[in-house]
Amino acid sequence: MERAELRALVRATGCAEERDGFFFLRDPQRNTPLPTRGLDSTVETRESDVASGWLCLGTGGTSGGVKFARHDERTLSAAVAGFCAHFQIERVNAVDVLPAFHVSGLMARVRCAATGGEHLAWAWKRLEAGDAPVLPGGAWVISLVPTQLQRLMQLPAVVAWLRGFRVIFVGGGPVWPELADAAARAELPISLSYGMTETAAMVAALRPEEFLAGQLTCGAALPHARLAIDKEGVVRVAGDSVFHGYHPEWRDTREFVTEDLGTIDARGHLCVQGRRDAVIITGGKKVHPADVEAALRASGEFEDVAVVGVPDAEWGEAVVACYPATTARTPSLARAIAALAPHQRPKRWVALADWPRNAQGKVNRAQLCAAVIAGPIAFAASAAPRGLSSMR
């Protein structure tokens, strides 16, 4: 894709703001301040000569302050080429329910434009209500986050509609086994994927036939990416789709050290264990929030749940389970913890009236932690059975 074409596409999103030659994509509903350029003369000259990294994509809003990752037509084109080669798709047609300021929403547009395919933007609320578009012939793809897939699985007509896609990409968070099992039973062509703003979306993906055969990894690396696990168990990504740094910095190295912990199995498939900065150390033991969340969901007691760690004088950190206060019935907490080891069991249970899940389906964990620490003004503690909140 040429620069002029990409810039026209970015302008057409309605989410872009141009400043000093840079294009910033951000949520128009949020008053996110744009960074000052802040480049010293040496870097400024080099940026002017190379003219790279002009497209700045917002990232980081679920765990802290928003930063802007610098991309351009070369990083995005590399991502498109790897995507098409991995899935053997020449012309990408996409139904898009994600906003353009999110990397997955932007890349859906870029893939379609770069390959001459059709891009169909569709309001998520319409699809969630059962109003699915009629699609013309050809192979179509769609990207969803796990919570979106969970909600659509409750609508038989939409499930039948999803079954007609070439690929349904599911990313942005872990998929719990019960949801994966339901999708497999429905014969949905799911691709569990892994990627982020800094890598121009997916760099690893499970092919639908692998998912339907029972695999639940993030799949193998796409051709344009190289994955490695360092000695601390952290996922590292290298390749031509890796960003040029956070604005205003410039970086030449094409490797990104993520905040995710993972392993690579004998097949070369990536298995993500959760974020390094989300690991809870309680009483000297490590607890991965994703493991606890999966067990709580599997109990059938929660439609939505998130686990965070908060400072605790006795344990160092305490495991806290949060769920929406709008839950239809009071969960049985004794049943919910049955599959958890003692050190994994939440010491506090809190119900939140204003559940902080964004348009992409991600829970803002920073907001959860802040609200838990703030106390009962922000949260209402659930009534746990006697002794449950102090289980070791």
Taking only the tens place, the pLDDT of each residue in 25-45 is 988 777 666 766 544 434 443
Q: Are both 256 and 373 inside the same structural domain? A: no
Does the pTM exceed 0.75? yes
Q: For the chain, how many structural domains are there in total? A: 2
Q: Are both 174 and 302 inside the same structural domain? A: no
Domain boundary among 224, 241, 275: 275
pLDDT value of residue 47: 46
> What is the chain's alpha carbon radius of gyration, rounded to the nearest angstrom?
21
Q: Are both 189 and 259 inside the same structural domain? A: yes
CATH number at residue 318: 3.30.300.30
Cβ-defined contacts of 10-18 (< 8 Å, 24+): 10/55, 10/106, 13/100, 13/101, 13/106, 13/109, 14/100, 15/99, 15/100, 15/101
User: DSSP string of 39-85?
Assistant: --HHHHHHHHHH----EEEEE-TTTSS-EEEEE-HHHHHHHHHHHHH
Q: Establish if 345 belongs to a structural domain.
A: yes
pLDDT value of residue 391: 31
CATH number at residue 266: 3.40.50.12780
Q: Are both 214 and 152 inside the same structural domain? A: yes
What are the helix (H) ranges across the chain? 3-12, 41-50, 73-87, 103-115, 124-128, 146-152, 156-162, 177-185, 208-212, 289-298, 333-336, 365-374
Q: Are both 324 and 347 inside the same structural domain? A: yes
Domain range for 124 is: 74-275
Domain boundary among 275, 298, 333: 275
Q: Establish if 39 belongs to a structural domain.
A: no
pLDDT value of residue 46: 46
Which of the residues in the chain have pLDDT under 50?
A: 38-50, 61-63, 377-392
pLDDT value of residue 65: 67
pLDDT value of residue 310: 86
Taking only the tens place, the pLDDT of each residue in 184-207 is 999 999 999 999 999 999 999 999
Taking only the tens place, the pLDDT of each residue in 65-104 is 688 999 999 999 999 999 999 999 999 999 999 999 999 9
